[in-house]
Amino acid sequence: MDIFAKLAIAARRGNAEGELPDFIMPLLMKVADNPGDFSGREELVAELVMRVEQYETWSELCCEKQGFSLEDIHRTLDRLKIRY
pLDDT digits (tens, 9 = 90+) for 41-75: 999 999 999 999 999 876 555 555 568 899 999 99
pLDDT of residue 56: 86
Give just the sign of the alpha carbon dihedral 69, 75, 77, 80. Answer: negative
How far apart, in Å, do the first and last CA atoms of the chain sit?
Answer: 28
For 55, the 3-state DSSP assignment is: strand
Structure confidence at residue 67 (pLDDT): 82
Under DSSP, the state recorded for 58 is T
Among 15, 49, 20, CA closest to 32: 49
Strand ranges (E), the chain:
none
